[in-house]
Structure 1
């Protein structure tokens, strides 16, 4: 219940008018449907009675007013149902679209440690399937249940004006059914719906594991086991769906029994009142058909409640990720002074069972200094960049990055990380660059691309900055993709530069030009970079030499012999 109320509170927070208008128009459509049946019943009964009463009475019978009421009710029902669909569905789709933004912003604000807890495709499932499941809370539960209860109360008030015992008998049966049947359906739906949602997620994850790990599964001889696991999950879903369908049939039967009991109550109390000449035959027929119309409003409620478990499960997964969208403000790219990076007595391993990559490791770096990280593959060079950037968390120790000027203590220094994997989007060059500086002018973007030796990319197409890249930067070479990512750092102007194999794959001339730009751009910044090249090592004031089985060794240019030996070992 708490989850349902939380989702509805979000709905009410953003779309209160749509929420109320949907309920009001839904109620209007329901009452129009009941009025149509009731008026038609009275009209048929009155017409039959007037016909039996003689020609003079039949000729005097006024058909204008009941005909007008029937046509009005029919039109109100038609337009009401259409309007209710338009308003409620439009509001729901708007709400779901906004909720996706909130969840996406919540995901973007998660720590990297928390993000690593999610399996591949799980966050996408939260943004798609889970949010889609929440539309049933309003459309399939709240709206039909509210319409049925309010319509029943209105009809009971009308019946009470006709005959008190009739209203009491019908009200007792229908209100009891509107309480007990939804409660029973909700109890069943919570359990079955949750298990169905969980099984669907398990099936999806097993499919993903099969598609992404076919080679590993074949080599391990586990492909058949994975296929069997998928089949078991699919069978489980079929079983749960069959149970849900059976409960739906039982519910429909119970609703029919409740409706039948209400009709019997109307006929018995109405027949007695008719014998006592308290009501006419046409009014009795009107009450019967009005009660029949009421029972038709109960069927959608139960089906929606049978699926409520899926919505609750989705809400429990979604609500912890909901965050208000961040305001679209330009990043403050001004220089707030020198920074200080302190890595103090850090221990790190990728798991509790793995060997320590860093043990009691310490390092300090200030603005205006550059440290190059060298060593064999697997020694932990990229891991150190991950720790400093916050992508990895140490088991113990502390990593701090602050402005040395106390006036900027409330600000977080900007970190720029260039990894060996380039992240580009299927968008224009300008879009991919303005991720770093949303307010950057076209002139600034072109100048930045020229610094990154990408002027030829602009010349390839008449679209210039608006030329569109393919998925993951398709259309650019590997070196061009990395230089485009580097261009973002040039625009972002980080206080701490973290670079991993910056000029890897570039020809010597382009690499020299890039290094010249980096030397200029990072002159007053802190620079920590991984390299295997002598040319890149010349950017460093100190070299951190890393070995797999030995503690890292930090040397400076003043240690000329060690420095030269380390540089000579590079390419």
Structure 2
């Protein structure tokens, strides 16, 4: 429950919206109570008057004020319910915005290497589904619970003022139901709610992964097997949901049974009190129908406390995601004037006990110097770039910029020093110009076209009627693999960073295009420092020196 307490603090930022929504929920319940009770009193009183008049007796009854009261409660109930929906939905939207802002602020400082341990589908599920689940914390749990408690207290207090014996009889029935049913529902439903949420998460992750890999699944004939696995997961999820539905139906039946027992108890005691003359018939009926209205505020509690198990599970996952990693650089030192990049006796391994991919590695990149690094696949070249940028914190040794350790420089200033093209460069569903301006937001069209010319993409822009406004699909789906790679390279070269890091910039290009791109890289890098990694030094632009990374160590080629 500690995770829920954390999110309750976040909800407290919108306490006035939540208080207004809860007040309107209570007002709706009060209007329903008044409507039923006053209607019961009025109908009974008019019936008794009719019997009296039919028997030849005399009786008077003011029908105007009760009639006005009934209309008042009916209109108030409709208006309060509309206002409650309006206010509570606005409150939930604001809460969701707060939660998303909190989560992204917690995630953005974390290193890419740390976040890469999560599958894409898992991250997506936590950022979307788990966040959306938390809006039930107020709307389905807190609001109905507070409303039920206050409505029961106020309603039973009013009934006690009218007829104390009936209030006591109802209290003996409704109080155990109000306490036991939610508690039992929560205890029984929490394991199933967590299991169902876990299964749903696994199902989404597998669907996303299979959709991304559908070409490979078809090529290897693995589609039937994957469909069977999805069907098994779906069957398990459906079974959990059905058991939850059965539990909730049973709990709701228990609440309705308790309401009926309270009605019978109130009716039996009411008949006795009417016979003794301490309470009139219309008042007795008003109390009985008022008890029916009080039973309505207990009806949402089974769903609320079944939902609490799922909300608790999502809250724990979100806290785990937000707290699972710390930013590599949390310093506040200024960027030194000397942009010499120094790798000083660095060792690094991805997991404890694993063979280090960097072992006592040292490197000095002087301002304006160009270094090419070659090595076999898996040698740790890409990891070394992440260490050089400060995205990974070395186990031993240090990374310096000038005479300042990289970890002492704030994230924003550190990242401004580097322009990186990594193996999984991402394009966004936006215009071609917008993707390029991620590298240099203030770049004009001439600068954008110059960067595109450097990577041999000018003809692609000229063939499009929209030019730089051409809209790219998700992850650049409107481009070929080579075009996506070159566009990401152009964006990297546009960034006005002192140090440029390129991971196999010409991978997958034919010889003619590769030569044009290498000339473009050489021109746009200019006098900046450059490190290029790859397998073949003949596919590098002009280099000042070449190194080999092997068994975690750097040596001259």
Q: Is residue 2:553 matched to residue 1:554?
A: no
CA drift at 1:294: 0.8
**SS of 1:297's equivalent?**
helix
CA distance in 2, matches of 1:206, 1:537: 39
Which moves more between the two structures, 125-134 or 497-506?
A: 497-506
Aligned to 2:24: 25
CA distance in 2, matches of 1:509, 1:80: 72
Residues 493-504 of structure 1: pairs in structure 2 closer than 5 A: 493-504=496-507
Residues 28-427 of structure 1: pairs in structure 2 closer than 5 A: 28-54=27-53, 60-207=60-207, 230-321=230-321, 337-348=337-348, 357-375=357-375, 380-390=380-390, 396-404=395-403, 411-412=413-414, 414-427=417-430
Aligned to 1:541: 544
CA distance in 2, matches of 1:464, 1:219: 36
CA distance in 2, matches of 1:550, 1:372: 16
Deviation digits for residues 22-71 of structure 1 (CA, Å, limit 9, x no counterpart): 11111111111111111110111110111122269788433222221112
The alpha-carbon distance between structure 1 residues 242 and 48, as it changes in their structure 2 partners (threshold 3 A), is same
Deviation digits for residues 368-409 of structure 1 (CA, Å, limit 9, x no counterpart): 221112355665544533443456665x43341424489x96
CA distance in 2, matches of 1:385, 1:70: 75
Deviation digits for residues 193-230 of structure 1 (CA, Å, limit 9, x no counterpart): 11222233334445556666789899999988766655
CA distance in 1, matches of 2:496, 2:335: 9
CA distance in 2, matches of 1:174, 1:520: 81
Structure 2 regions of 5+ residues with no counterpart? 324-333
Question: Of 454, 463, 476, which aligns to 2:466?
Answer: 463
The alpha-carbon distance between structure 1 residues 479 and 4, as it changes in their structure 2 partners (threshold 3 A), is closer
Q: Is residue 2:434 matched to residue 1:431?
A: yes
Which moves more between the two structures, 476-485 or 271-280?
A: 476-485
CA drift at 1:110: 2.1
CA distance in 2, matches of 1:120, 1:196: 20
CA drift at 1:147: 1.6
Aligned to 1:482: 485
CA drift at 1:169: 3.1
**SS of 1:38's equivalent?**
helix
Aligned to 1:492: 495
The alpha-carbon distance between structure 1 residues 98 and 462, as it changes in their structure 2 partners (threshold 3 A), is farther
**SS of 1:417's equivalent?**
strand
Instruction: State the TM-score, normalized to the length of structure 2.
Output: 0.84
Which moves more between the two structures, 256-265 or 148-157?
A: 256-265
Tell me how many residue pairs correspond in the alignment.
Answer: 542
Asked whether the 8 Å contact 2:100–2:131 carries over to 1, the reply is yes
**SS of 1:339's equivalent?**
coil
CA distance in 1, matches of 2:201, 2:404: 50
Aligned to 2:328: none
Could you say what the CA RMSD is over the residues aligned between the two structures, in angstroms? 3.7
CA drift at 1:104: 3.5
CA drift at 1:437: 3.2
CA drift at 1:3: 2.9
Asked whether the 8 Å contact 2:360–2:553 carries over to 1, the reply is no
Structure 1 regions of 5+ residues with no counterpart? 324-333, 556-571
Deviation digits for residues 114-164 of structure 1 (CA, Å, limit 9, x no counterpart): 213212410011122222222222222222222222112221222222233
Asked whether the 8 Å contact 1:255–1:299 carries over to 2, the reply is yes
CA drift at 1:427: 0.7
Asked whether the 8 Å contact 1:403–1:409 carries over to 2, the reply is no
CA drift at 1:466: 2.2
CA distance in 2, matches of 1:550, 1:287: 82
CA distance in 1, matches of 2:91, 2:444: 38
The alpha-carbon distance between structure 1 residues 198 and 104, as it changes in their structure 2 partners (threshold 3 A), is same
The alpha-carbon distance between structure 1 residues 493 and 138, as it changes in their structure 2 partners (threshold 3 A), is same
**SS of 2:340's equivalent?**
strand
**SS of 2:300's equivalent?**
helix
**SS of 1:169's equivalent?**
helix
Which moves more between the two structures, 488-497 or 204-213?
A: 204-213
The alpha-carbon distance between structure 1 residues 119 and 296, as it changes in their structure 2 partners (threshold 3 A), is same
The alpha-carbon distance between structure 1 residues 519 and 307, as it changes in their structure 2 partners (threshold 3 A), is same
CA distance in 1, matches of 2:50, 2:433: 81
CA drift at 1:501: 3.2
